[in-house]
């Protein structure tokens, strides 16, 4: 999920429905909540025709409420998050996008003083460069989270903000679609952040972050980072060794507010992070997100991979071991998905298929024993 600067708000008192965030899931309760919300939204300036059109089609989406507890930045390992964020495929595609939109990125960089690679990295991380913008109705998603989620007041505020966007004419209800949390467009703005930071960079009179043209979305992302205090020309962070020097032996940048970050302890990578790391945390308040996006930006700018070792996983496998498992499975005709070292659903299914063929217990777990068996094939 993309930028989220609006603070959680205390939900307004209500009598018509069970208290939001308390596991409420029944459709009758949801309809009652909508009636109460209609009155509160009208009191915040949302016109009746907008309320009629938007709430008349709103539906409770229990799968959205369930997704709120499964955000990958908080559930995957740091190594897996970085491997996915700065995968070989994403780096290759990102460089193509930078070349294809060279003129646009140049204008954005000059105007907002945010490096093009950073904007492109966020674009790649949030929607795979526009390919996955989300197709869930934003009003239904936010209403579901405001009624049945644990941050009810926050999501009710975002729902009001979404209705203000529709009321302003920037987008129709039909096109107001996004991710499970109501994040929208190429770079996954939540509605309140859109209202505060989105820009009409192509000059057509609308701040369109949803359409196929990424101009407004990319410029709005740069505007967000600028407004959050981005410092042009400074790194988000650098990988350092135990002496505090960069991995190639050079001294680390001497910048104000530097902080040593060693998220996995010893052994594990060390980062010296600066102001721009904290700005990325404003965009998405997850350490893995900020490191992953920052690293992708560095790779798009020509930098190399991290050097320091990550601890082996619970099965004693390194990232390269897991990539080898995926490569060997693919060579044998079992589809593990992308060769990235991340053991996702496709890799688990491929492992199970291989284990079943060999008469082994099909548990789908990547182990050293599995790797040894694959090497014998």
Report residue 151's pLDDT band, with 50, 70 and 90 as the boundaries: confident
Alpha carbon of 267 to those of 262, 310, 323: distances in Å? 9, 7, 21
The string over 200-221, giving b where at least 16 C-beta atoms fall within 10 Å of a residue's C-beta and e elsewhere, is: ebeeeebbbbbbeebbbbbbbb
Give the pair of three-digit tokens for residue 53: 């059109």
What is the spatial distance between Cα 310 and Cα 27, in angstroms, rounded to a whole number?
Answer: 47
- Tell me the average pLDDT across 214-232: 98
The string over 87-125, giving b where at least 16 C-beta atoms fall within 10 Å of a residue's C-beta and e elsewhere, is: beebbebbbebbeebeebbebbbeebebbbbbbbbbbbb
Confidence check: pLDDT of 74 > 60: no
244-266 per-position pLDDT tens digit? 999 999 999 999 999 999 998 88
DSSP result, 94-159: HHHHHHHTHHHHHHHHHHH---HHHHHHHHHHHHTTTT----EEHHHHHHHHHHHSS-HHHHHHHH
What is the spatial distance between Cα 218 and Cα 225, in angstroms, rounded to a whole number?
Answer: 11
Predicted TM-score of the model (pTM): 0.87
Nearest to 342 by CA among 83, 36, 115, 164: 83
| Residues above pLDDT 90, as percent of the chain | 83
Residue whose structure tokens are 């920037």: 170
- Tell me the average pLDDT across 347-368: 95
E strands present in the chain: 136-137, 177-178, 237-240, 259-261, 270-273
Residue whose structure tokens are 């005709």: 333
pLDDT given for residue 49 in this prediction:
97
Report residue 73's pLDDT band, with 50, 70 and 90 as the boundaries: low
152-165 per-position pLDDT tens digit? 999 999 999 999 99
| Residues above pLDDT 70, as percent of the chain | 91
Better pLDDT: 149 or 243: 243
Contact 191, 184 (CB under 8 A): yes
Task: Collapse the DSSP code of 184 into the 3-class scheme (helix H, G, I; strand E, B; otherwise coil) and give the result.
Answer: strand
Report residue 136's pLDDT band, with 50, 70 and 90 as the boundaries: very high
Report residue 122's pLDDT band, with 50, 70 and 90 as the boundaries: very high
pLDDT given for residue 6 in this prediction:
36
301-342 per-position pLDDT tens digit? 999 999 998 999 989 999 999 999 999 999 999 999 999 999
Domains of the chain (ranges plus CATH)? Answer: 27-69+133-206 (1.10.8.350), 319-375 (no CATH)
Phi, psi dihedrals of residue 163, rounded to the nearest 5°: -65, -30
pLDDT given for residue 76 in this prediction:
81
Contact 106, 149 (CB under 8 A): no
Report residue 68's pLDDT band, with 50, 70 and 90 as the boundaries: confident
pLDDT given for residue 72 in this prediction:
55
């Amino acid at each position: 999920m993309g930028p989220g600067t609006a603070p959680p708000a205390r939900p307004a008192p209500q009598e018509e429905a069970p208290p939001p965030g308390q596991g409420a899931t029944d459709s009758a309760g949801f309809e009652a909540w909508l009636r109460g919300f209609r009155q509160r939204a009208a009191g915040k300036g949302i016109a009746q025709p907008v309320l009629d059109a938007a709430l008349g089609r709103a539906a409770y989406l229990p799968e959205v409420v369930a997704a709120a507890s499964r955000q990958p930045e908080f559930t995957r390992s740091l190594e897996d998050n970085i491997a996915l964020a700065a995968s070989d495929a994403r780096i290759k595609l990102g460089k193509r996008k930078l070349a294809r939109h060279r003129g646009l990125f140049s204008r954005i960089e000059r105007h907002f003083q945010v490096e093009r690679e950073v904007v492109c990295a966020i674009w790649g991380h949030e929607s795979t460069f526009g390919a996955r913008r989300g197709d869930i109705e934003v009003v239904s998603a936010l209403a579901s989270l405001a009624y049945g989620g644990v941050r009810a007041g926050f999501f009710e505020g975002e729902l009001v903000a979404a209705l203000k966007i529709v009321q302003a004419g920037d987008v129709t209800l039909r096109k107001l679609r996004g991710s499970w949390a109501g994040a929208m467009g190429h770079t996954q703005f939540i509605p309140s952040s859109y209202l505060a930071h989105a820009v009409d960079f192509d000059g057509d009179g609308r701040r369109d972050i949803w359409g196929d043209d990424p101009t407004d979305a990319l410029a709005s992302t740069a505007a967000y980072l600028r407004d959050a205090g981005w410092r042009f020309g400074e790194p988000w962070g650098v990988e350092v060794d135990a002496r505090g020097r960069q991995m190639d032996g050079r001294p680390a940048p001497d910048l104000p507010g530097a902080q040593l970050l060693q998220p996995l302890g010893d052994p594990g990578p060390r980062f010296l992070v600066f102001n721009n790391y904290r700005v990325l945390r404003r965009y998405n308040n997850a350490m893995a997100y900020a490191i992953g996006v920052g690293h992708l930006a560095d790779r798009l700018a020509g930098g190399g991979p991290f050097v320091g070792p990550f601890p082996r996983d619970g099965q004693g496998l390194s990232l390269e071991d897991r990539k080898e498992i995926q490569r060997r499975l693919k060579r044998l005709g079992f589809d593990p998905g992308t060769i990235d070292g991340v053991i996702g659903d496709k890799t688990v299914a491929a492992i199970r298929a291989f284990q079943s063929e060999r008469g082994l217990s099909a548990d789908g777990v990547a182990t050293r024993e599995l790797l040894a068996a694959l090497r014998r094939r």
